[in-house]
Amino acid sequence: MITAINRRTLLKGVALSGLASAIGTRITLAADKPLGIALVVPSPIGDVGWGHALAAGLDPIKAAYGDKVKITILENIPEGPDADRIMNKAVADGNKFLIAGSFGYQNGALQIARRNKDVTVLHASGFQVAPNFSPFAAKYFQGTYLMGMAAAALTKSGKLGSVSAFAIPELITSINAFALGAQAVKPDIEVSVVWVNSWFDPAKEQEAAKALMAQGCDVIFSNAQDTPSVIAACEEAGVYAFNLNSSMKSYAPKTYLGCVATDWSPFFKASVDAHVAGSFKGANAFLGMSDKVVEVVDWNPAIPADTMTKIKDTEAKIAAGSVSPFTGPITKADGSEGVAAGKTLTDPEIVAMNWHVKGVTTPLPK
């Protein structure tokens, strides 16, 4: 049984206590028997996007464990003190497995892990590790590199754009790999970025996409947006666009370039198995194509066949580990050396990346 609760329905419950029971959603006090799994996400869960991908990753656990697990999804929880309170409440209500689905939950979730040694916490996009606390992130850059190759083959202006949420390493690496992939096909491609400084503001995202189009960008990367705002605006303007996490092809049947999709289920399943067996060990989980977490789907048929062949070839090599988007020589946007010739960035170096590659024209916020 999956129960969905969001902050606003809870608040409304306070305002109109009668309604809350009518919706039939509340955190149930977990009995001792089933393992309580709580997923906390910052945005509402729709048919697409980050939250949807995380929630969908729990389905195989549900299928495997049946009534032995009780999954609670807490959606639309803004980062901040309120999130700490809600996560604490979820644990107090008996949930022993917590998935904190946003970078900004890090401190609160880590405190919970330290105070409750019997609770296992998975935290999205972070860097802190504890014995019962694993950060997890997807190697989106493996997919965005391929997208860059496709974009370079399709662009007429030589200008690509990205509407991005916040300047954190996970998003920066995606943009860098996108630029590198494009430059691998056409060396002088430029990438403009608009940081909207918000995880969730559909109107602003759409304005940002239009601002990029006004600058001549004709392939747009919707970087970490949960709604189809950017994709829909691009379809209307006849501009190619792609996004992360889950396919939005239905919003842009003509100009959808593809999706760097994530399937969290192998990782979630393995972690829950380990928790149940008592063998869970906190570690940095940085998962990509070889883990079957990242894959590119819904390629646009307009991509030329010879480019597609190259993309498929590169994809196989990345999955096999013989090729990395971050193999030198790579020059930083400021002209200095990013990666020396012949060297490849290690995972910890990629996770800490705080510079743009050459060709990304927007300065990186400090």
Partner 1 sequence: MNAVDFILSGMLAAATPFLLAALGELVVERAGVLNLGVEGLMALGAVIAFIVVYHGGGHMLAFAAAGLASVLLSLVFALVALGFRANQVATGLAIGILGQGLSALFGKTYESLTVKGLPKLALPGLSDLPVIGGLFVQDVVVWLSLLLTLMIWAGFAFSKTGLVLRAVGENPKAAHAIGYPVIAVRVAAIAFGGLLAGFAGAYASVVYTPLWADGMIAGRGWIAIALVVFGTWLTGRIFLGACLFGAVSLMSLAAQATGVELPSQFLSSLPYLVTIIVLGIISANKRLLKLNGVASLGEPFER
Q: Which residues bind partner 1 (CB under 8 A)?
A: 6, 8-9, 11-12, 15-16, 19, 23, 43-49, 76, 161, 167, 192-198, 200-204, 206-208, 210-215, 217, 226-229, 232, 251, 361-363, 365-366
CB closer to partner 1, 25 vs 344: 25
CB closer to partner 1, 293 vs 360: 360
Q: Which two tokens stand for residue 69?
A: 């697990």
Residue 71 beta carbon to partner 1: minimum distance, rounded to whole angstroms: 18
In whole angstroms, what separates CA 346 from the centre of its chain? 20
Q: Is the peptide bond before 266 cis (omega within 30 degrees of 0)?
A: no
Q: Which two tokens stand for residue 1?
A: 């049984």
CB closer to partner 1, 48 vs 90: 48
Closest C-alpha to 159, from 141, 140, 196, 186 = 186
* Beta carbons of 34 and 103 less than 8 angstroms apart: no
Residue 255 beta carbon to partner 1: minimum distance, rounded to whole angstroms: 14
Residue 302 beta carbon to partner 1: minimum distance, rounded to whole angstroms: 22
CB closer to partner 1, 44 vs 328: 44
Containing H/E element for 272? helix 265-277
CB closer to partner 1, 132 vs 155: 155
CB closer to partner 1, 235 vs 315: 235
Encode 42-70: b = buried (16+ Cβ within 10 Å), e = exposed.
Answer: bbbbeebbbbbbbbbbbebbeeebeeebb
Give me the count of residues in the chain: 366
Closest C-alpha to 294, from 276, 313, 267, 273 = 267
Strand partners, 163: 194, 222
* Beta carbons of 221 and 144 less than 8 angstroms apart: yes
The whole-angstrom separation of Cα 50 and Cα 122 is 15
Residue 313 beta carbon to partner 1: minimum distance, rounded to whole angstroms: 33
CB closer to partner 1, 1 vs 23: 23
Residue 355 beta carbon to partner 1: minimum distance, rounded to whole angstroms: 15
Closest C-alpha to 264, from 11, 4, 37, 108 = 37
Residue 278 beta carbon to partner 1: minimum distance, rounded to whole angstroms: 38
Residue 59 beta carbon to partner 1: minimum distance, rounded to whole angstroms: 18
The whole-angstrom separation of Cα 296 and Cα 355 is 25
The whole-angstrom separation of Cα 153 and Cα 302 is 10
Containing H/E element for 262? strand 256-262
CB closer to partner 1, 62 vs 204: 204
Which residues have C-beta within 8 Å of that of residue 245, sequence separation ≥ 6? 48, 49, 50, 52, 53, 259, 260, 261, 262
Residue 57 beta carbon to partner 1: minimum distance, rounded to whole angstroms: 18
CB closer to partner 1, 300 vs 362: 362
Residue 13 beta carbon to partner 1: minimum distance, rounded to whole angstroms: 8
